[in-house]
Structure 1
Amino acid sequence: MQEIDKIISKLKQHQPLVESDYKVLLNYLQHDGNEAEFKKTLSSHWSQVCDDQDLVLHEPDDLFYKIYHQALESEKDSTPKVISLMGWVQRIAALLFLPLLILSAWNYYSSENIQELADEVLSIQSPIDSKTRFFLPDGTQGWLQANSSIQFAQIDNKERSVQLDGEAFFDVARNEKQPFIVSTNDFKVRVLGTRFNVMADANMAVSKVYLEEGSVEMLGINNEHHTLLKPGEEFLFDKKLKEFSVNTGLQEEHIAWTKGILLLKNKTLKESALALEKFYNIEIEIADKELENMPVYAKIQNEQIDEVLEYAKLILPITYSIEKPIVLKDGTFTKRKVVIRKVN
């Protein structure tokens, strides 16, 4: 504890930490309860350890993760290149899963959501009611949509590869010697460094890729070439027909979810219901099938589902009822269910 007190003293005096400090800190944080204790210490000295540069961090936890990340980077620079799986787990655990708290459903996402799947394979799973910010070992970062996951192995010398189930936005660190490949059940996306969104939800009839900047190559699951995308273009894959097309896409429509915005533009009520189910973690039933193809346009941010439904009643010929969750035998609850009906 004396060595930790010295580290805190350095932070209070705005002195840089050295490699030996980081080693002490990493060893200390490996023991149960020490992470919470160190955060508590940072909080009690917040006004002293937070210099002008760190004011943008806003909270003691933010400074903790910044220090922890620097410690891991120091460890990486001073150790051999052959790294064990646990080394990768420690790195990913420290790479700051900081969900953006825009909606009440968004919550803190910690390293406990990282699971060891098999030898040298890791998984990041986003909860059903939370969007998650992620950072990968190669410097790539992005957002993982609610109830989505990515799996990845240790980076080799040839390529960087992740498997996506659901939806994610990637800001890929450029490396011309190591292409970055996102694999889904329907296609692959191959890039060197760029920003793009992939929607590959198993429950959707069409999977999509939207390119914000740079360029990407679209491949089949057997690596056959499909097409190259330019910025502003979207790739659509029809799962039933096994066919793809390329259109001009709208940036806001594809990227809005990373900012806590649900954008419904020229969507049918059925499509909108699916989007709302994911956004609010609820179940929606359209009782009158003739309503399913009714067009919807809406931009939703910071509204509760009850407010959204009340607004929908004002502009659409619908009414709704909300069924309370039911307690199941195992003690869990069903989702809140919304039933939408036509106004008589």
Structure 2
Amino acid sequence: FVEQDYSKISYQKISAPYGTRIQMNLPDGSIVWLNSGGELKYPTKFKAGERSVYLNGEAFFEVRSDKKNPFIVYTEDMEVKATGTAFNVEGYSNDTINAVTMVNGVVEVKLDRSKERLNLKPGQRINYNTKRQNYRVEEVDTYKWCAWKDGKLIFRDEPLDDVFRKIGQVYNADIVVMDKDLAKHMYRATFQGETLDEILRLMKLTVPMKYIEKTSEKAMPNGVYSKRYIEVVRL
């Protein structure tokens, strides 16, 4: 047995530009889909005893089974531990909601500032509000929360506030519902391949709303686009 010098391990950082998603293979053979605006950092070689990756954003993981070397996803507010399973993690550092959705297998979730560890089973989702420091575990249609990796945005009876939060993450926009009652309006739809402007125009057909673009998208000198700011008001 030759002891390896892990201090020399280098890290790879992958980013998914807004409006895109990326599929990649990790050094252990696990597969990851990284959603729009997300960033994943991982070692070019995993050290013995643990396969650790660091996520800022949303990603779907198909983890290669290896009980001796647990697979751990670290976000700013959560730690998700698995051996071999499929699950979705939402962990944008600029969002108050972190979540894990289980597709198959079992994962152990540790929440920030808490010693409590929760085991999630297939069909379960934990929704953690980092601002209020509370969480809930519920039975869900897992595909709805993972469909983004197939290029779909699926909403099933969700308040407009949550709908626009999700759309804004994907399209690099702050979309604010100015009317409190309108923010609670329940919405159902499936989008696939539409631009943000097309989605907003389609939503206007079934929701009593109009939208006002306060700040438009601009190309910055570094090639990155600035964030759009859009206000949604009741008609």
Q: Is the 8 A contact 1:320 1:338 kept in 2?
A: yes
Q: 1:245 to 1:296 in 2, by over 3 A?
A: same
Over 3 Å counting, the alpha-carbon distance change for 1:328 and 1:263 in structure 2 is: closer
Conservation of the 8 A alpha-carbon contact between 2:176 and 2:232? yes
> Per-residue CA shift, 1:52-95, capped at 9, x if unaligned?
xxxxxxxxxxxxxxxxxxxxxxxxxxxx996999xxxxxxxxxx
Aligned to 2:14: 124
Q: Does 1:240 align with 2:154?
A: no
By relative contact order (CA 8 Å, sep 6+), the higher-ranking structure is 2
Q: TM-score, normalised by structure 1?
A: 0.60
Query: Is 1:313 aligned to 2:188, yes or no?
Result: no
Aligned counterparts of 1:326 and 1:306: Cα–Cα separation in 2: 12
Give the Å deviation of 1:320. 3.0
Structure 1 residues 145 and 81, CA gap change in structure 2 (3 angstroms): farther
Letter in 1 for 2:98: S
Distance 2:198 2:123 in 1: 33
| 2:149 alignment partner, SS class | helix
Is 1:341 paired with 2:218?
no
Equivalences for residues 1-344 of structure 1 within 5 A: 120-153=10-43, 154-221=45-112, 224-322=115-213, 325=216, 330=221, 334-343=226-235
Q: Which one-letter code corresponds to 1:133 in the other structure? A: Q
Q: How many residues align?
A: 232
Look up the equivalent residue of 1:340 and give its one-letter code: V
CA spacing shift, 1:125–1:83, aligned 2, 3 Å: farther
Tell me, what secondary structure is at the counterpart of 1:270? Answer: helix
Shift of 1:335: 4.4
The Cα RMSD (Å) is: 2.9
Q: 1:314 to 1:206 in 2, by over 3 A?
A: same
Structure 1 residues 119 and 172: CA distance shift in structure 2, 3 A: closer
Q: CA deviation at 1:119?
A: 5.8
Q: CA deviation at 1:326?
A: 6.5
Greater strand percent: which structure? 2
Cα distance change, pair 303–128 in 1 and its aligned pair in 2 (3 A)? closer
1:140-198 CA deviation, whole Å, 9 max, x = no partner?
Answer: 11200111112123311111111111111000011121111111122211111000001
- Say if 1:253 and 1:329 are closer, same or farther in 2 by CA, change over 3 A: closer
Contact 2:37 2:170 in 1 (8 A): no
Residues in 1 aligned to 2:67 and 2:215: alpha-carbon distance in whole angstroms: 53
Aligned-pair CA distance for 1:120: 2.1
How far apart, CA to CA, are the structure 2 residues paired with 1:263 and 1:293? 17
For 2:17, give the aligned amino acid: P
Q: Is the 8 A contact 1:262 1:279 kept in 2?
A: no
Q: Closer, same or farther in 2 for the Cα pair 1:211/1:310, shift >3 Å?
A: same
Counterparts of 1:166 and 1:328, CA distance in 2? 22
Equivalent position SS for 2:37: coil
TM-score, normalised with respect to structure 2: 0.85
Bigger CA radius of gyration: 1
Query: 1:306 Cα deviation (Å)?
Result: 3.3
Q: Secondary structure at the match of 1:258?
A: helix
Looking at structure 2, the residues matched to 331 and 164 of structure 1 have their Cα atoms a distance apart, in angstroms, of: 23
More helix by share: 1
Residue identity over aligned pairs, in percent, reads 28
- The CA distance in 1 between the partners of 2:112 and 2:25, in whole Å, is 25
Q: Which runs of 5+ in 1 are unaligned?
A: 1-79, 86-117
